[in-house]
Amino acid sequence: MPEAILDDISHRRYNPLRGSWVLVSPHRTKRPWQGQKEAANKVELPNHDPSCYLCPGNKRAQGDVNPKYDSTFVFVNDYSAVREQQAEYEPPAQDGSLATRLLKAESTTGKCYVITFSPQHNVTLADMPASAIVPVIETWTKLYTSHLDPHSPLAKVAKPTTMPPSGINGHLLDQPKQQYRYMQIFENKGQAMGCSNPHPHGQIWTTTSLPEEPEVELSNLKQYRREQGGSNLLQDYAELESEKGERTVFENTSFWAGCPWWGTWPFEIMVIAKEHKRALVDFDEQNNEDLAEVIAEITRRYDNLFETSFPYSMGVHQAPLSGTKEEIEASHFHMHFYPPLLRSATVRKFLVGYEMMAEPQRDITPEQAAKRLRDCGGALYRTRI
Q: Which residues are catalytic?
A: 201
Nearest 5°: the CA angle 316, 319, 324 is 160
Q: How far, in Å, CA of 326 to CA of 331, rounded?
A: 9
Distance CA 303, CA 70 (A): 25
* CA separation, residue 93 to residues 99, 100, 104, 107 (Å): 11, 8, 11, 15
CA angle 226, 230, 235 (to 5 degrees): 110
- Using alpha carbons, list the distances in angstroms from residue 209 to 50, 107, 145: 38, 9, 18
DSSP E strands in 130-278: the ranges are: 182-189, 201-207, 248-251, 255-258, 269-273
The residues near 334 (Cβ < 8 Å, ≥ 6 apart) are: 234, 270, 271, 272, 273, 316, 317, 318
The residue type of 288 is N
Provide the H-helix boundaries in 124-199. Answer: 130-147
Contact 43, 78 (CB under 8 A): no
